[in-house]
Amino acid sequence: MKMKLAEIAKAINVKNDISALQGVEVSSVAFDSRNLDDGALFVPLNGEQDGHKFVASAFENGAAASLWASDHAVGDDSQPLLVVDDPLAALQELASYYLCKINPIVVAVTGSNGKTTTKDMIASILSTQMNVTKTFENFNNEIGVPVTLLNMDPNTEAVVVEMGMDHFGELDALSRLATPDIAVITMIGEAHIEFFGSRDKIADAKMEIVNGLKEDGTLVFNGDEPLLTERTASIVQDKLEFGRQLNNDIYATSVNATAYSLEFVTNAWPDETFQVPMMGEYNVTNALAALSVGKLMHISVKNMHRALSSPDITRNRTEWIKGSAGEQILSDVYNSNPTAVKEVVNVFSKAETAGKRIVVLGDMLELGEQSNDFHRDLSEVFDPEKINEVYLIGPHMKALYDALVEDYGEHVHYFATEEKAKMTVELGALITDKDIVAIKASHGLHLETVLDALTS
């Protein structure tokens, strides 16, 4: 992104006179004053604190200019400020303007599970033949999506935008902002059921991604999910279904899965065996979604094969890491929900090891009144013959502990949230170089600190 302040001011209806600043140029957008590049446009947002408190710090750290809300008194008018009614709305307006200016192909990705991995796979595939920008980590909300768009290089030919939501209306707004050429729905699960009450309502919310889909766009969705096939029947845009069932447009005809990698063949390219260096058959479905987009974008099968064999995957998504004791750690500490936990534990139970299989789980958040039931139901994938030690942390994981303690006895361990340090010490004392460890939790538990301790 490179734009003069005069162009930005015109795009977002700036309220103050910036004639003296028209020569100033910005090269990026940031909302964290501690982490920005020289020449950035700082956007003061309201979170736990008012972002206007950090405008001075942003300038000290190299910001070229800052937005400023009109309902805040301007303290230092010598600073290059752009006064607007609402900095967040202005950020989104500027993103829409810049998107039209660059005019890339837009691929929007949502889903209860797998959207980050699918986004990464799609970007890897498209990057073999195009200049591609993708959502950084999980910048997938009303702030992250416009920041992704504004940080596109001017030569971007395709942008892959992850879109998350936990309330009705959020995907509608994001879709209308990004106006995708291709919209992808990976699956419908229980994530955020606290806010929706049922999977049916979650499916309704996920379908909002179609609201901004271009008239000549394509909806790519998981055809194995009846909740989606019902709701997509009335969609007028083109549709392409992927999944494991034979009724899909693209499906896997054979799968060979290990704890470390996948191989599969599809009906679309029956002579090609795709390889993915990731665990879990659920990642075959994510790969099928990515291949569907690649097919729509006319990416050669050779390039798609190459991309999937070494995709650029966001950290801490079912990633194998070597621990400081020599153990292998399966890290998946960024997000968690019942479907994902069961899949990970099932695959981990089959991973070969000369030592113990140790599972560390933290609470799955945003599951509402059914939370304890969802946690308790995880017990169905635990077998003491396969999973040797279980460490659980968080108030809702107490329900799983109660369900496992009869079979596991002293080999299941429960910790309150504030006992994370104690759990980390006990884990460190138990683990040997022959063991394998799986760590999974919602990000709110911050088990990345446990991972850091075990790998440093």
Can you give the residue ranges of every domain in the chain?
3-86, 104-309, 319-455
Q: Which of 164-168, 178-182, 212-216, 286-290 has the lowest mean pLDDT?
A: 164-168
HSE of 323 in the Cβ direction (CA atoms, 13 Å)?
Answer: 26
As a whole-number percent, the residues of the chain with pLDDT over 90 amount to 79
Whether pLDDT at 252 is above 70: yes
Helix/strand/coil for 443: helix
Model pLDDT for residues 106-133, shown as the tens digit of each residue: 999 999 888 999 999 999 999 999 999 9
What would the 3-class secondary structure string for 102-125 be?
HCCEEEEEECCCCHHHHHHHHHHH
Architecture of the structural domain at 104-309: 3-Layer(aba) Sandwich (3.40)
CA distance 80 to 83: 10
Helix/strand/coil for 69: strand
Pairing of strands 218-222, 238-243: parallel
- For position 286, what pLDDT does the model report? 96
Write down the CATH superfamily of domain 319-455. Answer: Mur ligase, C-terminal domain (3.90.190.20)
Whether pLDDT at 316 is above 70: no
Closest CA to 274 of 116, 135, 124: 124
Model pLDDT for residues 254-274, shown as the tens digit of each residue: 999 887 899 999 999 999 999
End-to-end CA distance of the chain: 37
More confident residue, 230 or 258: 230
- For position 193, what pLDDT does the model report? 64
Model pLDDT for residues 53-62, shown as the tens digit of each residue: 999 999 999 9
CA distance 423 to 417: 10
- For position 191, what pLDDT does the model report? 64
Whether pLDDT at 171 is above 80: yes
Model pLDDT for residues 370-411, shown as the tens digit of each residue: 899 999 999 999 999 999 999 999 999 999 999 999 999 999
Angle at which helices 115-126 and 301-309 pack, to 10 degrees? 130
Cβ(50)–Cβ(44) below 8 Å: yes
Full-model pTM: 0.87
Amino acid identity for residue 421 in this structure: A
Beta strands per DSSP E along 145-233: 158-162, 182-185, 218-222
Model pLDDT for residues 145-159, shown as the tens digit of each residue: 999 999 999 999 999
Annotated binding site for ATP: 111-117
Amino acid identity for residue 39 in this structure: G
Tokens encoding 168: 């009705």
Annotated binding site: 111-117
Chain centre distance of CA 369:
25
Amino acid identity for residue 211 in this structure: N
CA distance 328 to 320: 7
Closest CA to 133 of 165, 88, 94, 103: 103
Name the band, by pLDDT with cuts 50, 70 and 90, for residue 194: low
Give backbone dihedrals phi and psi of 80, rounded to 5 degrees, phi first: -75, 90
Angle at which helices 199-206 and 170-178 pack, to 10 degrees? 20
Tokens encoding 243: 């999944």
Write down the CATH superfamily of domain 3-86. Answer: MurE/MurF, N-terminal domain (3.40.1390.10)
Whether pLDDT at 434 is above 90: yes
